[in-house]
Amino acid sequence: MSRATDTWILTAQCPGVLGTVNAVTAYLYEQGCYVCEHQSFDDRLSGNYFIRAEFGQPDHFNEAAFCEGLSQQLKPYGMRWELTAPARRMKVLLMVSKADHCLNDLLYRQRIGQLRMDVVGIISNHPDLEPLARWHGIDWHYLPMQPDGKPEQERKVMQVIEQTGAELVVLARYMQVLSADLCKKLDGRAINIHHSLLPGFKGAKPYHQAYEKGVKMVGATAHYINDDLDEGPIIAQGVEPVDHSHYPEDLVAKGRDIECLTLARAVGYHLERRVFLNGSRTVILK
């Protein structure tokens, strides 16, 4: 699902109490806002409530006055909320190593307008994909990883993030483990992609390992990073069946396709403000 280009997005979360939906929808009605999309979820286990609404603005819409009134309306419910303006494009920084399939896919989807984002830079610990970045006219940052040089390299990574104003970092097959410190700084705003064969087949050539075990499906998982390797809150997953006729190279090719689709779906959900963190899990309102 993709958002319209002329609608505002209101997202909010709070403890699940009586009147939360009415507090949002009644205010939008009073302001003359036409709600064209609305989802909500009440998590009875965590006690949290999540709301996402898209609406068209009425004539003479005043954002400052709207936000001031909304703040007063939602204050009794302890709601944390965010308002996103129409067609706002999030600044995104991509991180890669040598594999180019996810990078190519994201840049293509940006170019055709499927992912409404501005890629403000590409960071890599290898020089291989610089021509691709230059062809797209995107700033390239080659930050090699030296022995015992992770702290300095990650300091430079954080410097690029701050200088570009990146709001989201996407690890599009960036084959370096981030430190706990950097994971903490990027909490909730960095997405990683990996094959869903983990943790069964770790290390080099996981698809070849999978072939030797005769797997019957391959897949991919996109998740927010945390300091627990490849176990952050999951945003999207994809899976495809395989059988005895699929050789290792077939598994690799199918895996690449699934990784591209799954990562693009996760990035899209984030750009459209459909993802809510709920402890170690996510709520996706779509």
| Residues carrying an active site annotation | 230
Gap between the Cα atoms of 4 and 102, Å rounded: 25
Q: In which element (H, E) is residue 194 found?
A: strand 190-195
Return the sign of the alpha-carbon dihedral for residues 143, 147, 152, 154: positive
Asked if residue 79 lies in contact with residue 64, where contact means CB atoms within 8 angstroms, the answer is no
Gap between the Cα atoms of 173 and 277, Å rounded: 23
Gap between the Cα atoms of 136 and 160, Å rounded: 19
| Geometric angle at alpha carbon 180, from 177 and 185, rounded to 5° | 105
Residue 284, number of CB atoms within 10 A of its CB: 18
Choose among 193, 254, 241, 237: nearest CA to 215: 241
Gap between the Cα atoms of 97 and 187, Å rounded: 21
Q: Which residue has the tokens 């090699």?
A: 144
> Is residue 222 left, alpha or beta, with left meaning phi > 0 and alpha meaning psi from -120 to 50?
beta
Gap between the Cα atoms of 254 and 271, Å rounded: 26
Gap between the Cα atoms of 274 and 1, Å rounded: 10
Count how many residues are written for the chain.
286
